[in-house]
Amino acid sequence: MKKKFIGFLVLASFLLMFNTASYASGTDENTEKSTAELLESVMDDFGLFSFQIGRTDPTITIGMDQTKSESKLREYLDDNLSEEAKKKYEIYIFKEDIDKLKQEHQKSLQE
């Protein structure tokens, strides 16, 4: 009787740990997916030309047109990102001249 009870406790603890680990990884994927969808939906509005969401390094790196407002983008992200994403990720924004990037892209296509 004691062996069965101990076996049950060991099995229950393994199942609980597995369930917790599965839930945690699923939550991370959902957070990343919803964050990516949010950024994709406003690429034209804020002049975004790229973004990257880090998995091992919890950062969101955003490239935007230098003529657009970084403060408005940060305000939008603060209002619309989930609380979990705000806690998890640090946001880095860099600005570039979009026309210069287009010219560089055209040169690379010609080569």
Per-residue pLDDT in tens (0 to 9) along the chain, 111 residues: 676 666 656 666 666 666 555 444 445 778 888 999 999 999 999 999 899 998 888 999 999 999 999 999 999 999 999 999 999 999 999 999 888 888 887 888 887
Domains of the chain and any CATH numbers: 2-110 (3.30.300)
d(CA 15, CA 72): 46
**Cα 5 vs. chain centroid, distance in angstroms?**
44
Would you give the end-to-end CA distance of the chain in angstroms?
76
pTM value > 0.75: no
